[in-house]
Chains A and B, each alone.
Chain A
Amino acid sequence: MTGFRLPSGGTAIDRSRPLTAIVNGRPLTGFAGDTLATALIAAGRPIMARSFKYHRPRGILASGRDEPNALFDIGSGTETIPNCQATMVPLSAGLIASSVNVWPSPERDAKGLLSRFHRFLPAGFYYKTFMKPSWMVFEPFIRKMAGLGKLPLGSAATDTKLRYLHCDILVIGGGTLGIAAASQAKYASASVILLEDGLLPDMADIPEGILALDQTLAFAIHENGYVLAVQGNARQLRIRAQKIILASGHAEQPLLFPGNDRPGVMLASAMRELLCDFGVLPGKMPLLIGNNGYCDELADDLREAGYPPIAMLDTNNGDVINHVHYRGGKITAATVTSSGLRHLIECDCIAMSGGWSPRLQLLMQAGGKLAPDAVTGRLAATQIPPNMELSFSEYQEGERPTFAARTGAPQFVDFQNDVTTSDIALAAREGFVSVEHLKRYTTLGMATDQGRTSNINGLNVMADVTGRSPAQVGTTRYRPPYAPVPFAVMAAGQTGRLLAPLRFLPAHAEQAAAEALFEDHGGWYRPTCFPDKGEAPRDAVQREARMVREACGMMDASPLGKIEVTGPDAAAFLDLAYLQTMSKMKPGRIKYGLMLSETGNIIDDGVATRLTSDHYLVGTTSGNVANIAANFEAWLQGDFPHLDVCIADVTTSWGVLTLTGPAALRILTALGTDIDLRTFAHLDYREGTVGGYQARVSRVSYTGEVSYEIAVASDALSDLWNRASSAGAKPFGLDALMVLRTEKGYLHIGSDTDSATLPVDVGFGAIQNNKKTDFIGKRSLFLPDALRNDRLQIVGLTEVNGGVLPVGGHILAQMPGANRLSSDGFITSSMMSPNLGRGVALAMVARGRERMNETVTVSDLGQRYKAIISPLCAYDADGDAFNV
């Protein structure tokens, strides 16, 4: 007999509502309230799975979240959720379920032959067998044979929700003790949340005002009472609780005997739940064996249902099961020893109760300590964190049964990973006696059930085999998550565009209308280029770079960092913050500067503008403004608290339009401004109106052409963009900007420099000797490594035939005294230059400045190139473009 539904009974099901699902391709009918597991047993289909390694037929062992065997892929196609426990899946109309890693079905699995070879496949077999000619020959097959569910490729995008909650008291566990603890807390006027992994049958029992969430699993506890929970596989909860009461109950443990994994052998609590909650029995002739009084309670229920136990065995009296007779997919009998005599008992299902271990894994996650009891091996708390309380009932239990080594049928300890008692004995023989080694060598406790029904037995067996107490063996560390959580839930609130939110330019709409090709540049959504219809991006970049030098280009440069620095000591502060001296410049002037870290390395470059004697505007690279602002605050608050300075990051308050090119002056005039443009010299700063808007205008250039950076209020930029466009300015993107600045030999921090670059490497070595006052990083510029004369130096590099050199290519050097080549540096920037009609490149080369006009060999991905070390600035070295 394999399983059937009783004519009446079952508190969880609604017999008036039958449902049909498709399981392993066949229809399955059950009732509303059934789980997939209970419906399958009721329908006489107890074989639900094949074990991981040996492919032995398996039914359910446990109830609820502890079930290790019955794993199913639920759903189909991209909606499939793999590895769901049949005991946790509610039956629903049209549900599609497939047992994992079986073919063609769990009843008839083709790899079931493997179980015949179990003696050759013990723990760690892959270190001893399948070694010649090479493990890699066998590994793909063996890997295919093991394994669990299938991940759907191209999953449908999920939008799992995230919810934050705060409370005084969080109660984990909605059983009798949990509800009592929550009620008591509520009575004391605390804000209370109660979480229950299963169903809360009667919400009315719970006092009003308590937020009771069922089908909600607390799966992680972090510092300061931070608890993560998953609600029904669809929503992540993040709960901050002042105090946590753990009332998570006990998990029943299996007994060890040959054949204890057969379909039809299950925990006594699982059989009791089948009977009482679902009106289902796995057989008509149950055999009960246990080491505690729980079997008596199950026996009472069985008698009441009309199916009294065939036999009741008590391990405390020395009763053992010697063998489970299993044939044709059914249990037929069990050979037992009781009172010294051997009996053959006809039975068709077996309930075992090996004792109860409190669910304390979350306590360990929260920083508490657990140890196995010296006698029974069940977990006990030895240290409870100050913000937690435990609420568990005391269970009476007998002595734990000792493990007896037996030949013949295996006795299973870890059901999901197919770890047997002989595996544990093997581990001990080979010296893996520490509980941490036991776990990793045998994989005991490493399955998706995290050892909830195997760790206790495992450490008990190891204790027996090595003559220690379970307390001496100890337990491994329990880490989050308590049970598998879908990645979609873990990523809640951070999927899609929320993962790395982009920042948009003030004139985004106008640039989109101009057919910009937008990309993520340092967190900002900016145009790489503006390709014409049918134009390849690479060609657009060349066209734009040519256009800027011939006419006037326009760019939305709003992301450029802008930090206001004000106060009587603003000038002194900037002298500290920059390599260059900033305190001598006149108001209305702009100066280029490098900012260093305390190690002397360049962290940013940009221009500083002096507005008045105690008011500066510091410009930073777009992606770096937050770091520079953080540094400024650290130095002002920590190292130089005596300085009277305030800083403010105003980057996003100002929209910036850059006009650059020979026609820039004409375009700016066309926009209309009250600034006297005839006296507006290079590196001047003026305030006034442009196009009717209050503006801060700077004459700085990153292109080598006459440039005006016009800063207006962000919301005015769109209008200004349109007007400039109407006046004849043409948009250009960041890639063209890179071409233009490379032609001029202007540095791009982060491309031409890295975290090891010093000012002397990029041509700013004189200042450190001339600037007498202290500045951040100054001392480091005089360390021995900074004073080496063979450091890499930035130079231009020209391919002998005018071709484009590969970025990252290394300049080859002959190693002295060795027949080997080494690197003398590498190419940092390289592209085609439309304005020079040839390739242009910058490189960091050892002693580069001394080696002008030297021909060098560049090596990159197996190719060689010949290039000449050239001056940094390849275009308009005299700066004629600025003489307007």
Chain B
Amino acid sequence: MRVQPRAWHIDMILIHCPYCGPREETEFLYGGESIVRPLEPSAETDDNWARYLHTRANNADTVSEQWWHSQGCQMWLWVKRNRTTHVIDSVRPFGETQ
């Protein structure tokens, strides 16, 4: 079984991890746009639940995202990143409110 080569990647973005300092993006795994899980999934309508699963803002400007510092402190982070310019506005741990 041949496995796809991993990490063929020239890192570009620097992410300032609040625990580890500025680290290159290859240390992180991207976890999609920030979403908040409904507290009572069983109370959600099918449509609302489907929206939670699949619908994302996907703007071409600053979006709140989830990143995991997998090669570092292993903490999840809220990252406000501009998807056109890659400028990162803020990086905060999951513990804090967005």
Contacts and interface: CB of A to CB of B under 8 A. Distances in A.
A479 B21 CA distance: 30
A598 B85 contact: no
A634 B11 contact: no
B66 A634 contact: yes
Interface residues of B, number: 34
A694 B33 CA distance: 45
Contacts of B8: 494, 499
Nearest to B54: A599
- A interface, over-half SS: mixed
B3 A633 contact: no
- B interface, over-half SS: loop
B2 interface: yes
A223 B2 CA distance: 33
Contacts of B95: 637, 641
A634 B53 contact: no
A780 interface: yes
Contact of B2 (A367, A520, A626, A780): A520
B31 A224 contact: no
Contacts of A226: 10-12, 14
Nearest to A648: B74
Contact of A223 (B68, B76, B86, B94): B86
A388 to B, nearest CB: 14
B76 A500 contact: no
Interface in A585-619: 598-599
Contact of B14 (A224, A499, A500): A224
A703 B57 CA distance: 47
Interface in B3-38: 3-6, 8, 10-14, 29, 31, 37
Contact of B75 (A228, A494, A637, A639): A637
Contact of B37 (A224, A494, A637, A639): A639
Contacts of B31: 630, 634
Contacts of A598: 37, 52-53
A494 B5 CA distance: 10
Chain A interface bracket (under 10, 10 to 19, 20 to 34, 35 or more): 20 to 34
B1 interface: yes
A499 B6 CA distance: 7
29 contacts: A223-B13, A223-B14, A223-B86, A224-B12, A226-B11, A226-B12, A228-B10, A240-B14, A494-B5, A521-B1, A522-B1, A523-B3, A599-B53, A630-B31, A633-B75, A637-B95, A638-B37, A638-B66, A638-B94, A639-B37, A774-B41, A774-B42, A778-B41, A779-B44, A779-B49, A780-B53, A783-B49, A783-B50, A784-B46
Given A223-B14, A523-B3, 20 more contacts: A222-B12, A223-B13, A223-B86, A224-B14, A226-B10, A226-B14, A228-B10, A238-B10, A240-B14, A500-B4, A520-B3, A626-B70, A634-B66, A637-B94, A637-B95, A641-B94, A774-B41, A779-B42, A779-B49, A780-B49
Interface of B: 1-6, 8, 10-14, 29, 31, 37, 41-42, 44, 46, 49-50, 52-53, 66, 68, 70, 74-76, 85-86, 93-95
Interface of A: 222-224, 226, 228, 238, 240, 367, 494, 499-500, 519-523, 598-599, 626, 630, 633-634, 637-639, 641, 774, 778-780, 783-784
